[in-house]
Structure 1
Amino acid sequence: MTQHDPETSSRTRLIEAAILCFAEKGFDATGIREIAQRAKANSALVQYHFGGKTGLYAEALRHIFRSRPEMAPPMPAGTGGPEDRRLAMATLGEIVEGLMDELLACADGTELDRASLLLVTRELQSPRQDVADLILEHLRPTMDRLLACIRVLRPDLETLQAHEYMNSILAQVVHLHNNLKLVRLIRKEPDYPQDFKAVARHITEFSLRGLAVPEAFPGA
């Protein structure tokens, strides 16, 4: 089917309307009829295309994930040699920068972008059981790469300790996303950050210091 096919068009409209509605009211408070009205489509098409509201919710998340650029920085080999450690530091920085780009671009984007980010954030904070596997599938490549970097840089860490470091790195990005308006208010900079890459470098450097990686700061 082409993009101009009426069936494809109605399906896309329903997905986009669902993202807006679910973001505004949450899953339980959103009705199929409300979504259909917003999409200017017959409510029976929700069952036809997605098998019901739960299927539409899952497809809305898939649509959001597919629309984001895929982050695929190289995976450190795990040898622990100097080159592998340099790659781990660079990859960690690329992951942080990619997350910053995605989260902050959505925060200042279109209504659909902001709704998409709100919906995903809410789902990450309190995953619904019926989409938990979908969420994990989306997150796993980034998490695996970040953990691989930490294990190369700190091979002495136990698995749970490595996860704590990963959580600390992610928490810095999530804080900016969740509290961006507050950060802008505190800094008295309504368009902060003007240079998200500079903020990403700060988070990366802060994280490498927290990981106690000596070669990241020669002469320090």
Structure 2
Amino acid sequence: MTPPPPDLPQDTRHRLIEAAILTFAEKGYDGAGIREIAQRAQANSALVTYHFGGKEGLYREALHHISDRKASEVASLPPPPEPGSPGAREVALQGMKAYIRAFVTDLMSCPAESEVDAAAMALIGREIQMPHPVSAPVLLEFARPYMERVLALLRVLRPDLDPDAHLRMTLSIQGQILHFRNSLGFIRLLSGDPDFPKDLEVLIQHFTDFSLRGLGVPEAFPQTRP
């Protein structure tokens, strides 16, 4: 039996992953080469094959590294209620509000302070728009808990709708927030305010109200009920 390869020193591993993020963000998966990444990391290109299984393995590891860079507010939320359980509708309503707050907070707190941070955001943005077959399993692993949480909340809040309608509503809630985050630079240009949004609470409340009105949850707005 062939013994497993020795552990890669953390410093070298970190340099290779950061070099991969920078290179993949610039050139995409197909345009980036192992030798180029290794040279950027000041490491031997053989290490990529030896420790990551080649370019595919390094690409997946780079995406995992990006998704694990910070703790998720969404992951810390309590589980959605079961349909029909006592008080489920009110719990689901508060759960949807908490989810939108946590999702906005997660996205808006993504770092963009360094060249690697900016490249990481660009790489994820590209993958969201045009997922590469190599990245698909990682993207699904990352996104599935978000989607499943919203779908579970909708099954309580809108039990009258079929699964296709639940999916469309989930995509609408996620999409408006993702579009805002991915287009933030252009939105700031349009608004003429380089620091927009100055008050994150206002943005969170807007997305919450917009989503709940679109979902048709009248008890979320008792002051407007006849």
Amino acid in the other structure paired with 2:58: L
> Are 2:114 and 1:114 equivalent residues in the alignment?
no
Structure 2 counterpart of 1:161: 165
Q: 1:39 aligns with which of 28, 38, 41?
A: 41
Contact residue 106 and residue 114 of structure 1 kept, 8 A: no
Q: 2:174 aligns with which of 170, 187, 199?
A: 170
CA distance in 2, matches of 1:82, 1:127: 41
Q: 1:142 aligns with which of 136, 146, 156?
A: 146
Contact residue 81 and residue 153 of structure 2 kept, 8 A: no
> For each residue in 1:106-130, what CA deviation from the matched residue of structure 2 results, as whole angstroms up to 9, or x when unmatched?
3643322221122122112222223
Given the superposition, is the C-alpha separation of residues 102 and 111 from structure 1 closer, same or farther in structure 2, using an over 3 Å criterion?
farther
Structure 2 counterpart of 1:196: 200
Unaligned runs of at least 5 residues, structure 2: 1-6
Contact residue 89 and residue 157 of structure 2 kept, 8 A: yes
What is the aligned residue count? 216
- TM-score of the pair, normalised by structure 2: 0.88
Q: 1:24 aligns with which of 20, 23, 26?
A: 26
Q: 2:189 aligns with which of 175, 182, 185?
A: 185
C-alpha deviation, 1:137, in angstroms: 1.3
Structure 2 counterpart of 1:55: 57
C-alpha deviation, 1:43, in angstroms: 1.1
Q: Percent identity?
A: 48
Contact residue 78 and residue 152 of structure 1 kept, 8 A: yes
Amino acid in the other structure paired with 2:14: T
Given the superposition, is the C-alpha separation of residues 115 and 102 from structure 1 closer, same or farther in structure 2, using an over 3 Å criterion?
farther
Amino acid in the other structure paired with 2:135: V
CA distance in 1, matches of 2:8, 2:187: 44
Structure 1 counterpart of 2:11: 9
C-alpha deviation, 1:6, in angstroms: 6.9
Q: Alignment partner of 1:157: what SS?
A: coil
CA distance in 2, matches of 1:186, 1:146: 31
Given the superposition, is the C-alpha separation of residues 159 and 26 from structure 1 closer, same or farther in structure 2, using an over 3 Å criterion?
same
C-alpha deviation, 1:81, in angstroms: 5.8
Given the superposition, is the C-alpha separation of residues 121 and 138 from structure 1 closer, same or farther in structure 2, using an over 3 Å criterion?
same
**More off after superposition, 16-25 vs 195-204:** 195-204
Amino acid in the other structure paired with 1:56: L
CA distance in 1, matches of 2:134, 2:144: 17
> For each residue in 1:28-65, what CA deviation from the matched residue of structure 2 results, as whole angstroms up to 9, or x when unmatched?
11111111121111111111110111110011111112
Q: Alignment partner of 1:68: what SS?
A: coil
Given the superposition, is the C-alpha separation of residues 203 and 38 from structure 1 closer, same or farther in structure 2, using an over 3 Å criterion?
same
> Pairwise CA RMSD of aligned residues?
1.9
Given the superposition, is the C-alpha separation of residues 6 and 157 from structure 1 closer, same or farther in structure 2, using an over 3 Å criterion?
closer
> Are 2:93 and 1:69 equivalent residues in the alignment?
no
CA distance in 1, matches of 2:8, 2:135: 28
Amino acid in the other structure paired with 1:38: R
Unaligned runs of at least 5 residues, structure 1: none
